[in-house]
Structure 1
Amino acid sequence: MRDAVSLNEYRSGEEADTSAVAIDLSNNALPFAPLPSVRTAIANEVQHAAAYPAAAYGTLRSAIARFACCGTDQVVVGPGSVGVLGYLLRWVAGHGGRVVFAVPAFDAYERVVIGAGGVPVPVAGTPSRWQPLESMVTAAGDDAAAILICAPHNPTGEHVSPDEVEMVLARVPRHTVVIVDEAYIEFDRNNDPAAILRMTQRYANLVVLRTFSKAYGLAGLRVGYAVGHADLIGACRSLAMPFGVNRLAVAAAVASLDVVDELGGQVDSVVRARSEFLTAIRGRGIDLADSYGNFVWVPMESPAPLVEHLRASGIAVRSYPDAGVRITVPAVTHIAEVVDVLADGYSRVEALSCR
């Protein structure tokens, strides 16, 4: 209880004064509205809003199973992938189990582990490897309940290969569940996006998290899922909140899986914008690593001045104290403006640090 009380309330990106934000690059949301067919599915479902959704989510789980080439008994859905992560951790770590993850990380990881009754085991990354998998395996030892891997890594955009995930699986005991959060996998053009999903057919202690919030553009509807061994996933479903995903979210998710190719076109445009954004930033003398998400990472030990400079110009980003700044890839029409403000702020911070 003390651990939970010590946590601050979770805040999504920059919520303090949204009236001052003209360009919000803090939440990695897709800069597009849902596709017309998805909007139609949502509108058609509104007339049924007085009725509860199907408790087992059979239609959605079947659609996901077809997409992921697995059985419906291997799928659990929930209110965003973070909601599904909560179900999973309550089962595998709910009585003080240790859960290993790298920091910096998605802000929700620590609070979800504590909320599930687990013990967070953060492993510090460095600019040479922000998600140090070897160190995470060492920290897990023989008794960790779970290792949480983000592929690609949030907030740095660092690439994680299927071979690296297989290395972790080969080195941890079978009772340690390896959870791979693939929230941004659609933006990673270095991986076969189904490679780690297929590995769930070979490893009973591997679970893959996916979300409809990022590439599918449904962040406001809160729906995600996990794929894994039927026994483990069945246990998660037994702990799931009844009716935790609303009818509109279910309809939107099912419709989105029917138009994956069209959605892929939107992802392609984000990937092109990411390349343009990185090229423009590097052209201003800021040396950034490649990113495999829909965001870029600016490493710096004291990010607050840069964040404040951007905010003063109406641009919201995500700050990670003592580590850096994560910036969502902006719409193409905003790239030049964001790069100008970023470069100006970065040079000012660099000048101050050299005094």
Structure 2
Amino acid sequence: MAHPQPRENVTRIPAYVPGRPPTVRPGMTAYKLSSNENPYPPLPGVVEAAGVAAAAMNRYPDMGSAELYAALSERLGVPAADLATGTGSVALIYQLVNAFCEPGDEVVYAWRSFEAYPIAITAAGATSVQVSVTADGRHDLDAMAAAITDRTRIVMLCTPNNPTGPALTQTELDDFLAKVPEDVVVVIDEAYVEFVRMDDAVDGLATYRAHPNVVLFRTFSKAYGLAGFRVGYAVAPAPIAAALRAVSLPFGISAVAQAAAVASLERESELLERVEALVVERTRIRDALLEQGWEIPEAQGNFVWFPIGERAAEFAAAADAAGLTVRPFQGDGVRVSIGEVEAGDRLLEVAASLR
């Protein structure tokens, strides 16, 4: 019997695998280190702002996110016309591909990288062009530049790269952009930008100002601790930002999420204290793992990467037995989020037992 069929490309969309919640174990505090979440609760004042907005839940949110746009414009020093918002930066990936790609157009990105890239690209009927990261988890920018063809519409640069950890330098980025045609959109996906501590770090805002084809993606999910509210934003030249807004889901960001994001922007000093504490913990964890003999790539996000290939499932099982949920990518490695100090101590114990 005949029945409705989705488009052929829909059947090829890879599944997004979310980080599992922690396994409850009697007598043991369990920790979720599988989703790169901020372990701290919301900043003071954010819950209160969200509560005020929730009291008006019978009304639609501001579809134009005017207060959020104004706050971002002031905070970043960019025109509001150069901004676009979405339900997390992942929504902006979908919006960009839908706005700029016809079926069969190509999107170049590093792999392994953020697993939403191939999902959004396939959903739009576009073609993924994956370029393997280097042995130490970095973007191979020379190979990515060589992969650009006359069908390429977008290049995605995830920096710091999720899940491997290293970040691009400004020198590397400038050299790469000089090789990219100006009609190709280049995304600098900076979901973890607040955690970067390195020489010659990418200045995303300066880069966007210097190039008519550069887009920044950022999020409130990581450093700001609003993962449950889904708020992301793009900074882009006005024509690109307008295209992103044109294909966005009407009323996508709830009034509660908008209020929480604005309140979080107003509390940046407190935010930066928490981010710095996570960076210190990240350094402690990576240094200890290196001392144990693990090969851990440079870590510039709020996570560390174990490039252990087929041992990923074994590592994840050992962590689970110790009350830690991590994120295995079978055949590639394991990503572990930076969380509470006790969780870090337990991770080091698990890692030592598997050396």
TM-aligned CA distance change 1:193 to 1:125, over 3 Å: closer
| Contact kept in structure 1, 2:106 and 2:128, CA below 8 Å | yes
| Contact kept in structure 2, 1:90 and 1:117, CA below 8 Å | no
* Whole-angstrom CA distance in 1 between matches of 2:219 and 2:208: 17
3-state secondary structure, aligned to 2:103: coil
2:90 is matched with 82
2:43 is matched with 35
1:116 is matched with 124
Gaps of 5+ in 1: 348-355
* Whole-angstrom CA distance in 2 between matches of 1:118 and 1:191: 36
* Whole-angstrom CA distance in 1 between matches of 2:294 and 2:103: 46
3-state secondary structure, aligned to 1:42: helix
* Whole-angstrom CA distance in 2 between matches of 1:143 and 1:7: 21
1:10 to 9, 13, 16: 16
2:298 is matched with 290
**Residue 174 of structure 2 is aligned to residue 166 of structure 1:** yes
1:190 is matched with 198
3-state secondary structure, aligned to 1:265: helix
How far residue 282 of structure 1 moved from its aligned partner, in angstroms, is 2.3
| Contact kept in structure 1, 2:297 and 2:305, CA below 8 Å | yes
* Whole-angstrom CA distance in 1 between matches of 2:155 and 2:202: 20
How far residue 18 of structure 1 moved from its aligned partner, in angstroms, is 4.5
* Whole-angstrom CA distance in 2 between matches of 1:136 and 1:274: 29
**C-alpha distance after superposition, 1:44-93 (max 9, x if no partner):** 11111111111111111111111221100000001000001111111111
2:145 is matched with 137
What RMSD, in angstroms, separates the aligned Cα atoms of the two structures?
1.8
How far residue 203 of structure 1 moved from its aligned partner, in angstroms, is 0.9
How far residue 117 of structure 1 moved from its aligned partner, in angstroms, is 2.9
1:263 is matched with 271
* Whole-angstrom CA distance in 2 between matches of 1:82 and 1:18: 27
* Whole-angstrom CA distance in 2 between matches of 1:254 and 1:191: 30
TM-aligned CA distance change 1:128 to 1:9, over 3 Å: closer
1:68 to 76, 99, 104: 76
Name the stretch that deviates more: 246-255 or 156-165: 156-165
1:223 is matched with 231
Query: What is the TM-score when the length of structure 1 is the normalising length?
Result: 0.92
1:278 is matched with 286
3-state secondary structure, aligned to 1:219: coil
* Whole-angstrom CA distance in 2 between matches of 1:192 and 1:44: 42
**Residue 186 of structure 2 is aligned to residue 152 of structure 1:** no
Higher helix share: 1
* Whole-angstrom CA distance in 2 between matches of 1:137 and 1:285: 34
| Contact kept in structure 1, 2:155 and 2:187, CA below 8 Å | yes
1:23 is matched with 31
1:126 to 126, 134, 145: 134
3-state secondary structure, aligned to 1:266: helix
Gaps of 5+ in 2: 1-6
The residue type paired with residue 99 of structure 1 is: V
3-state secondary structure, aligned to 2:282: helix
TM-aligned CA distance change 1:7 to 1:114, over 3 Å: closer
| Contact kept in structure 2, 1:286 and 1:343, CA below 8 Å | no
* Whole-angstrom CA distance in 2 between matches of 1:212 and 1:60: 12
Name the stretch that deviates more: 274-283 or 292-301: 274-283
2:343 is matched with 334
The residue type paired with residue 190 of structure 1 is: M
The residue type paired with residue 340 of structure 1 is: E
Name the stretch that deviates more: 84-93 or 4-13: 4-13
**Residue 228 of structure 2 is aligned to residue 204 of structure 1:** no
* Whole-angstrom CA distance in 1 between matches of 2:42 and 2:139: 32
How far residue 39 of structure 1 moved from its aligned partner, in angstroms, is 1.3
TM-aligned CA distance change 1:192 to 1:168, over 3 Å: closer
TM-aligned CA distance change 1:220 to 1:247, over 3 Å: same
* Whole-angstrom CA distance in 2 between matches of 1:145 and 1:327: 33
2:321 to 312, 322, 333: 312
| Contact kept in structure 2, 1:185 and 1:193, CA below 8 Å | no
2:221 is matched with 213
| Contact kept in structure 2, 1:75 and 1:225, CA below 8 Å | yes
* Whole-angstrom CA distance in 2 between matches of 1:78 and 1:190: 29
**Residue 308 of structure 2 is aligned to residue 300 of structure 1:** yes
* Whole-angstrom CA distance in 2 between matches of 1:192 and 1:128: 19
* Whole-angstrom CA distance in 1 between matches of 2:156 and 2:35: 21
